Amino acid sequence: MNTRGTMVLEEGSRIDFDALRLDRRARVRAMMDEHDIDVLMCIRQGNARYVTGHRPLWRAVITPWAPMCTFVRATGGIHLLAATWDDGIPGDIPHENLFALTWNASNTVNSIAGIEGLADARVIAVDGMSPGLAKLLGMLAPNARLVDGEALMRDVRAVKLPAEIECLRTAIAIAEGALATVTTELRPGVRELELKGAFEAAVCGYGLNHVAYEGTFCAAPRDAGSDAGAQVLRRIPTERPIGAGELVVLHGAVHYAGYEGIAGRTRPCVGPSGMVNSTASRGQRELARRFIAAQASAIDACGPGAPANAVATAWARHEAVPLDAPLLYGIGLGVEGPLVGGVPEAAAEDASLRPGMVVVVQGSVHEPGVGTYFGADVVAISDDGPRRLSRASHAPLDVPTDALVPA
Amino acid sequence: MTPPTRELDLARMRAQRHAKLQHEMDARGIDALLLLGTGNAMYAGGGQTVLADNARRYQQRLIVLVVAGDDAPHVFTPYADGLPAELPQSHRHAPLYAETDAGVEHMARTIKELTGGDCARIGIDDYTAPMWFQLPRLLAPAELVDATQLCVDARVIKLPDEQECMRRSWEINEAATYAAEQALRPGVRLNELSGVFLRRLFELGATANFLDPVFQAMPERIADGPWSTNGDVPFNLITTDHIISEGEVIWTDTVMGYEGYASDVGRTWVAGRPSPELRDLYVRWQEITDAVIEHLRPGVTGDVLTRLAIEANGGTKPWLDHFFLAHGLGLEGGEPQQVGADRGPEYDEQFVLQPGMAIVVEPVTWRDGHAGWRCEELVFITDDGHERVSHYPNEPFE
């Protein structure tokens, strides 16, 4: 398939969501069989959506743990809390498994107590916990042992089905399209927050209603200083107007059917004629060249079976490893592990890259007096090696400096 | 009533919030507070981040550690440029990672180092799975206690600077909502309204959008909407690319932030000319809203407000069964103080309005066959009454 759109076509939707939902659920079921998990309870949107295939109302907050989605292996039943109506809920989940939004803890207790198969559970996998609900589960499922369900779901979700990769490609196309729209609004005097607003408006133009990540639309510091911890990126957009000639980091993400597409590039602010090659400085082009080289090396390191942290080694052969953001992270129904960089070394995982995984490789290079170039690419790990799913170029900075006529 | 001040001092606000948390910790004998919940971590740490869906936020999380007697919070963040300027270097930290056993082991070591390792009681507001399974052992013999109520208590009364953030947040949200209403006409898709809304939001200086903007074309009859557990009006559904038809009634619900403080604007629009029945529903909604707001002052209890609303509505309850007549508001969105929710009349009777509370009043009027009217109004409780913050024009009728 090579058409990237969101409208349903006469011959069917581009992605068979019914099949995708059942395929995902079957994988969760197989995981539960393998690890002898009787009941899976999750709140995390990625986990709940993977199991259920519903369309939840998006919120940008983390709320205290509760079993928003319960999957019982013995019955195959999926039970949802805070589901007052069946809008956005797949038809294979019966109405009696939907529990209304409630503010009364005793209603929550009754809803959970009524889940068939919970009382007999011996092992319950949970993706978080709260003291109150731990007590409640102790009463409702007295023989059950709790285990880390997030680790189990992370493993299931890491390897993508072909239809999931199609969803990711669509999401990336939307993110890159919206970023291209922002580029047309990049001119001296525009404020960073206006660029962020332009990105979100462009996303809505594609039929979506929110972004996955509000993103970075910021002028890069020209001189971050030489300290080891020096900040080479500003990541939170402000009212600051963009100056002529500044490098501007553009980085945002969107959801398509829950799958996250990201785009990240750096553009010079050179006015309405910004796409004309001769208007970017030689130093900016040299910076882009350095980024492209380091990024290519990092992406090459994403082979099947490679340790995830090989990407850091490959990047470090070219450039200093950035301290303040991950160099690699998994992506699917939102951001997933493993993370390389951006977390304390002591917390790093020894994960290896498997065929079917999809990761974001990102980095930044800095040159005092010039600024910072940031870029992010989505890469699928296949049996044959890494495949870049991102399509955006580094224009207008990707013309080799030796091809330029000296100013 | 003293007119509201419009000055804003964010450093003063953060210092006062820190003092309130210290006070609540002292009152409960808590030696350290580890906060991971979005609003709680923002309250304690004061750091800005880039808003994202919860998957990204789990992986790149703002986490705050407050140590009893300390002058400032320890903030762990992937967004160093969002840290408050006044936060000392010793309290600025690289992010913690609560997603893996190794990350939680590192988290426990860090907590011990920063607290001197002799905490008897540590309050925690949210647990990832590795935290739940590992932390009690790693932090032993410290007792880990639930910090949820501590945070609710610290946050419920808004400081003057917090109120000013909320006024700005509400003003920006209303202005962006108004911009979207100007784009409303038959033939426009609902998600296009979100595009207009979001663009205007950030042009006006919003720092974040917390909720998928809701622009819902209301069914005329409840039976025309999706199936629901309670048989009430199905709202708020997820915004789609529905093409707006002449005469459709649109309900909105948008939650965005200024310095983290949420506004929660909900309005009712008509694509075209409102029917006489809808006009009547609007008039009744206005009467109910005025009756409730008129009585907002310290000492009034929730059950008084529900009675007033029911009376003004001719004996039936004028709010959605799955929501409430009124709710608290603060960082990130609604807060757990509710009036008329399904917690039962006893809860409403013991809920007492106090100066400094921020209350959103959201009655609904409905006549099956003609849809209904729903708007949200923000009110601060003052020492001797209230200050109405919301000022959206109900244009088809004004």
Mind listing the pLDDT tens digit for each residue in B324-368? 999 999 999 999 999 999 999 999 999 999 999 999 999 999 999
Written as six digits, the tokens of A280 are 């970017």
Contact criterion met (CB < 8 Å) for A59 and B212: yes
B66: helix, coil or strand? strand
Is residue A388 left, alpha or beta, with left meaning phi > 0 and alpha meaning psi from -120 to 50?
beta
Contact criterion met (CB < 8 Å) for A197 and B201: yes
Over the stretch B201-228, which tens digit does the pLDDT of each residue have?
999 999 999 999 999 999 999 999 999 9
Which of B82, B106, B133 has the CB atom closest to A148's CB atom? B133
* b/e sequence B84-101, b meaning 16+ C-beta within 10 Å: beebeeebbbbbbbbbbb
Number of DSSP helices (H) and strands (E) in chain B, helices first:
11, 18
| Closest A-chain CA to B107 | A347
B367: helix, coil or strand? coil
* B95 contact A CB<8A: yes
B296: helix, coil or strand? coil
How far is A153 from chain B, CA to nearest CA, in Å? 12
Per-residue confidence band for A401, with pLDDT thresholds at 50, 70 and 90: low
Contact criterion met (CB < 8 Å) for A151 and B344: no
| Rounded Cα gap, residues A20 and A165, in angstroms | 11
pLDDT above 90: residue B235:
yes
Pick the most confident of A226-235, B39-48, B149-158: B149-158
Report whether A122 contacts A143 (CB < 8 A).
yes
Contact criterion met (CB < 8 Å) for A210 and B212: yes
Contact criterion met (CB < 8 Å) for B341 and A104: yes
Contacts made by residues A46-50, CB under 8 angstroms, sequence distance 24+: A46/A153, A46/A157, A46/A258, A46/A332, A46/A333, A46/A334, A46/A336, A46/B55, A47/A127, A47/A149, A47/A150, A47/A153, A47/A157, A48/A80, A49/A258, A49/A333, A50/A24, A50/A153, A50/A156, A50/A157, A50/A333
Contact criterion met (CB < 8 Å) for A213 and B239: no
CA dihedral A264, A270, A271, A274 (to 10 degrees): -60
Q: Beta B74-76 vs B63-67: how paired, if at all?
A: antiparallel
| Rounded Cα gap, residues B103 and B80, in angstroms | 19
Contact criterion met (CB < 8 Å) for A86 and B213: no
Over the stretch A318-338, which tens digit does the pLDDT of each residue have?
998 876 789 999 999 999 988
Q: Supply the pLDDT for residue A223.
A: 82
Q: Supply the pLDDT for residue A354.
A: 96
Q: Beta A39-42 vs A69-72: how paired, if at all?
A: antiparallel
For B315, phi and psi rounded to 5 degrees? Answer: 105, -10
Give B36's contacts in chain A (Cβ within 8 Å): 62
pLDDT above 90: residue A406:
no
In angstroms and rounded to an integer, the radius of gyration of the C-alpha atoms of chain A is 23
Q: Which residue has the tokens 């986490």?
A: B63
Over the stretch A300-321, which tens digit does the pLDDT of each residue have?
999 999 999 999 999 999 998 8
Over the stretch A120-146, which tens digit does the pLDDT of each residue have?
999 999 999 999 999 999 999 999 999
| Rounded Cα gap, residues A247 and A396, in angstroms | 12
Query: What integer is the mean pLDDT of A63-91?
Result: 96
Query: What integer is the mean pLDDT of A345-350?
Result: 78
B393: helix, coil or strand? coil
Give A339's contacts in chain B (Cβ within 8 Å): 59, 97, 99
Per-residue confidence band for A73, with pLDDT thresholds at 50, 70 and 90: very high
Query: What integer is the mean pLDDT of B267-288?
Result: 96
Global pTM reads 0.96
Q: Supply the pLDDT for residue A299.
A: 97
Which of B39, B130, B146 has the CB atom closest to A148's CB atom? B130
CA angle B186, B189, B190 (to 5 degrees): 105
| Rounded Cα gap, residues B152 and B42, in angstroms | 13
The 3-state secondary structure of chain A, one letter per residue: CCCCCCCCECCECCCCHHHHHHHHHHHHHHHHHHHCCCEEEECCHHHHHHHHCCCCCCECCCCCCCCCEEEECCCCCEEECCCCECCCCCCCCCHHHECCCCCCHHHHHHHHHCCCCCCCCCEEEECCECHHHHHHHHHHCCCCEEEEHHHHHHHHHHECCHHHHHHHHHHHHHHHHHHHHHHHHCCCCCEHHHHHHHHHHHHHHCCCCCEEEEEEEEECCCCCCCCCCCCCCCCCCCCCECCCCCEEEEEEEEEECCEEEEEEEEEECCCCCCCCHHHCCHHHHHHHHHHHHHHHHHHHCCCCCCECCHHHHHHHCCCCCCCCCCCEEEEECEEEEEEECCCCHHHCCCCECCCCEEEEEEEEEEECCCEEEEEEEEEEEECCEEEECCCCCCCCCCCCHHHCCCC
Strand partners, B262: B257
Q: Which residue has the tokens 């290519």?
A: A296
| Rounded Cα gap, residues B236 and B213, in angstroms | 10
Give A85's contacts in chain B (Cβ within 8 Å): 225-229, 234, 237
Query: What integer is the mean pLDDT of B92-107?
Result: 95
| Closest B-chain CA to A57 | B238
Query: What integer is the mean pLDDT of B251-258?
Result: 97
Contact criterion met (CB < 8 Å) for B100 and A196: no
B69: helix, coil or strand? coil
Over the stretch B160-195, which tens digit does the pLDDT of each residue have?
999 999 999 999 999 999 999 999 999 999 999 999
Query: Within a 10 A sphere around the Cβ of B260, how many other Cβ atoms?
Result: 24
Per-residue confidence band for A8, with pLDDT thresholds at 50, 70 and 90: confident
Q: Supply the pLDDT for residue A84.
A: 96
How far is B2 from chain A, CA to nearest CA, in Å? 31
Q: Supply the pLDDT for residue B310.
A: 98
How far is A217 from chain B, CA to nearest CA, in Å? 11
| Rounded Cα gap, residues A17 and A90, in angstroms | 10
Q: Supply the pLDDT for residue A2.
A: 57
Give B199's contacts in chain A (Cβ within 8 Å): 197-198, 200-201
Written as six digits, the tokens of B115 are 């607290």
pLDDT above 90: residue A341:
no
Interface of B with A in 61-80 (CB under 8 A): 61, 78-80
Which of B48, B191, B342 has the CB atom closest to A104's CB atom? B342
Query: What integer is the mean pLDDT of B29-57?
Result: 94
Written as six digits, the tokens of B163 are 């109120």
| Rounded Cα gap, residues A300 and A297, in angstroms | 5
**Arithmetic mean of pLDDT over chain B:** 96
Q: Supply the pLDDT for residue B319.
A: 98
Which of B127, B145, B208 has the CB atom closest to A60's CB atom? B208
Strand partners, A359: A330, A379
- Chain centre to alpha carbon of residue A93: 27
Give A255's contacts in chain B (Cβ within 8 Å): 53
Q: Decide which of B5 and A136 is more confident.
A: A136
Give B336's contacts in chain A (Cβ within 8 Å): 103
Written as six digits, the tokens of B153 are 């208590």
Could you tell me what percent of chain B has a pLDDT over 90?
95
| Rounded Cα gap, residues A358 and A355, in angstroms | 9
* B363 contact A CB<8A: no
Q: Supply the pLDDT for residue B6.
A: 87
Q: Supply the pLDDT for residue A274.
A: 45
Per-residue confidence band for A342, with pLDDT thresholds at 50, 70 and 90: confident
Which of B60, B129, B192 has the CB atom closest to A150's CB atom? B129
Interface of B with A in 317-356 (CB under 8 A): 322-324, 332-333, 336, 338, 341-344
What is the ipTM metric for this complex?
0.95
How far is A10 from chain B, CA to nearest CA, in Å? 18
Report whether B278 contacts B249 (CB < 8 A).
yes
What is the per-residue DSSP string for B230-248?
A: S-S---SPPP--PBPPTT-
Which of B78, B105, B195 has the CB atom closest to A205's CB atom? B195
| Closest A-chain CA to B39 | A61
CA dihedral A109, A115, A119, A122 (to 10 degrees): -110
Kindly report which listed range (A107-116, A279-288, B293-302) carries the lowest average pLDDT score: A279-288
| Closest A-chain CA to B256 | A60
pLDDT above 80: residue B4:
no
Query: Within a 10 A sphere around the Cβ of B329, how many other Cβ atoms?
Result: 28
Written as six digits, the tokens of B137 are 């052992």
Over the stretch A158-184, which tens digit does the pLDDT of each residue have?
999 999 999 999 999 999 999 999 999
Query: What integer is the mean pLDDT of B112-121?
Result: 94
Q: Supply the pLDDT for residue B376.
A: 97
